[in-house]
Amino acid sequence: MLKTTLLHPEILAVLGSAGRGDQVLVVDGNYPFSTHSHAKAKRVFLNLAPGLLEVPQVLEVVRDTVPVEKYEVIEPTGEADVPVFREFSELFQGVPCERLERAEFHAAAESADTVLTVVTGDQRPYATILLTVGAVEAEDDLPTFEHPPG
């Protein structure tokens, strides 16, 4: 049994092999992932039923597993306030956010850099996000191992 909160074997495998600049797409139940994500990205389906799981729940676990350098969302058309964006901002405090036009977002999600697509049952508008994996910094609280003498 692992000690991390992330226990999903497929997600762990992809994140474990991801490097800086790789992307993780977490989509709501309305996003057309079959046509607007990279064909070679590992697809994981967590959409058991509408409302299960929601994107922020997935993001919290992913955020605690890999460093996030930036994230991108779809610029809403005609809507000034998107409640789920506040949740994203709270989860990724200090992480730059880019709002992309729909076509730009789709192009970014279709990039070969997208290594994982997680499909959720979130039904809220614009609850789709593209994360860019960052680098683990030397000052990050990581365990170090010393070789025994001799």
pLDDT (tens digit, 9 = 90+) per residue, 118-150?
A: 999 999 999 999 999 999 887 666 666 777 776
Average confidence (pLDDT) per 10 residues, the chain, 150 residues: 86 96 97 96 96 95 96 89 95 97 98 98 96 85 69
What are φ and ψ of residue 49, in 5° steps?
-160, 160
pLDDT number for residue 70: 98
Q: What is the pTM of this model?
A: 0.91
Residue 126 CB partners (closer than 8 Å, separation 6+): 28, 73, 74, 76, 79, 82, 84, 85
Q: What average pLDDT is seen over the chain?
A: 93
